[in-house]
């Protein structure tokens, strides 16, 4: 299975929003996104039931994005990785 990660950046009045999206994983009840920043820091975002997440004011650079597909008891049933250039 492949997560097919992608990202789009849209300017807004309050700053840029980068939308990270991925394909659905069969059996997943939610998803968790984790970003590895170009400088080495990691940030984990709250769980979502959607197949996309909006990130505000992401700094420029290339990030490694990891999406964890979670099963009904929050166990990881699939992990997908991809690169995001902002």
pLDDT digits (tens, 9 = 90+) for 4-54: 677 777 766 667 888 889 989 999 999 999 999 998 999 999 999 999 999
pLDDT at 60 over 90: no
Please give the model's pTM, rounded to 2 decimal places: 0.83
Query: Using an 8 Å Cβ cutoff, are 47 and 32 in contact?
Result: yes
**Phi/psi of residue 18, each to 5°?**
-105, 120
Residues across the chain: 86
- The per-residue pLDDT for 2 is 47
Dihedral in degrees, nearest 10, Cα atoms 1, 79, 4, 41: -160
Query: Using an 8 Å Cβ cutoff, are 51 and 31 in contact?
Result: yes
């Amino acid at each position: 299975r492949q997560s097919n990660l992608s990202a789009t950046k849209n300017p807004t009045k309050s700053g840029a929003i980068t939308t990270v999206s991925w394909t659905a994983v069969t059996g997943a009840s939610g998803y968790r996104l984790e970003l590895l920043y170009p400088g080495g820091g990691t940030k984990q975002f709250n769980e979502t039931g959607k197949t996309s997440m909006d990130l505000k004011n992401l700094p420029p650079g290339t990030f490694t994005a990891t999406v964890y597909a979670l099963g009904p008891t929050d166990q990881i049933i699939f992990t997908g990785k991809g690169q995001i250039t902002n």
